[in-house]
């Protein structure tokens, strides 16, 4: 890895497993000190910390309820207290429920809005109060913000479309400080939430031009690029990393 994030401090939400864990490890491999939040997987969180530290990096796992405002704000502050600042925020935490709109449970709707939208807002608001000029905010959205070729994805698409608008507007607000804001929109990625060998995989793959699921590291590599100095003139963008899902 290039170590082009040496001296930088990153926070990744929802990173005890899957895509978030891959992002945390990739940023650490590039030299950043990385704090990350997790919900109910302490063993997995410890595994991520162990992997980063074994490779010579710095990591901190912070338990935080993704749906609670105070918990999210406290995680940002704990990151700053532990490492002395904040340069990069990756809003990776997300949940998915698929169901027909007429049968969609309201508690599932509230949970998706709380995690996919509210937590992103709260973490970002708290982070920018402390983030150094020239920082990076990277939101993890979805290719389903604009294309949903399956039934039952209405609420998920709603929450991920909100990420697109939030990213654009926030880039305007933070541009004078040199802070870039971008939205990475993964396609089908092999994680616990959407396994490549899961029951929905065959119907999903027919929409992917490359004919396969992404590996989490492939998405994490792009996040690391946006976090680095070579992406300094990219902001307000929603960028597909979807294997041609939306082509």
| Whole-number average pLDDT of the chain | 96
The verdict on residue 159 lying in a domain is: yes
Q: Taking Cα atoms as reference points, which of 160, 130, 166 lies closest to residue 142? A: 160
The verdict on residue 82 lying in a domain is: yes
Which residues constitute the domain of residue 146? 9-241
The burial of 203, by beta-carbon neighbours within 10 Å (0-12 exposed, 13-18 middle, 19 or more buried), is given as exposed
Count of domains for the chain: 1
pTM for the model stands at 0.96
Residue carrying the six token digits 């027909």: 100
How much is the pLDDT for 192?
Answer: 83
The verdict on residue 3 lying in a domain is: no
The verdict on residue 247 lying in a domain is: no
* Residue range 123-161, pLDDT digits in tens: 999 999 999 999 999 999 999 999 999 999 999 999 999
pLDDT at 112 over 70: yes
Give the separation between CA 77 and CA 71, rounded to whole angstroms: 10
pLDDT at 1 over 70: no
The verdict on residue 156 lying in a domain is: yes
The verdict on residue 26 lying in a domain is: yes
Tokens coding 28: 């650490």
Active site residues per annotation: 156
The verdict on residue 114 lying in a domain is: yes
How much is the pLDDT for 193?
Answer: 80
How much is the pLDDT for 26?
Answer: 98
Task: Spell out the long-range contacts of 207-210 with Cβ–Cβ below 8 A and sequence spacing 24 or more.
Answer: 207/149, 207/245, 208/242, 208/243, 208/244, 208/245, 209/243, 209/244, 209/245, 209/247, 210/243, 210/244
The verdict on residue 1 lying in a domain is: no
* Residue range 212-229, pLDDT digits in tens: 999 999 999 999 999 999
CATH number where 73 lies: 3.40.50.720
Beta bridge partners of 240: 185
């Amino acid at each position: 890895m290039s170590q082009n994030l040496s001296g930088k401090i990153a926070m990744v939400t929802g990173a005890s497993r899957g895509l978030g864990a891959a992002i945390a490890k990739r940023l650490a491999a590039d030299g950043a000190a990385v704090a990350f939040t997790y919900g109910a997987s302490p063993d997995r969180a410890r595994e991520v910390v162990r992997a980063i530290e074994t490779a010579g990096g710095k990591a901190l796992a912070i338990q935080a309820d993704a749906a609670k405002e105070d918990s999210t704000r406290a995680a940002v502050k704990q990151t700053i207290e532990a490492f002395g600042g904040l340069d990069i925020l990756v809003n990776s935490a997300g949940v998915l429920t698929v169901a027909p709109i007429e049968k969609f449970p309201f508690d599932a709707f509230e949970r998706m809005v709380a995690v996919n939208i509210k937590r992103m807002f709260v973490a970002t608001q708290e982070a920018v109060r402390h983030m150094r000029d020239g920082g990076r905010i990277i939101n993890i959205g979805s290719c389903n913000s604009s294309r949903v070729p399956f039934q039952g994805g209405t609420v998920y698409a709603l929450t991920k479309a909100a990420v697109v608008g939030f990213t654009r507007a926030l880039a305007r607000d933070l541009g004078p400080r040199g802070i870039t804001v971008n939205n990475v929109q993964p396609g089908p990625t092999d994680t616990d939430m959407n396994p490549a060998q899961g029951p929905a995989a065959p119907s999903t793959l027919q929409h992917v031009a490359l004919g396969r699921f992404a590996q989490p590291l492939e998405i994490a590599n792009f996040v690391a690029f946006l976090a680095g100095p070579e992406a300094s003139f990219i902001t307000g963008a929603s960028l597909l990393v979807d294997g041609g899902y939306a082509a």
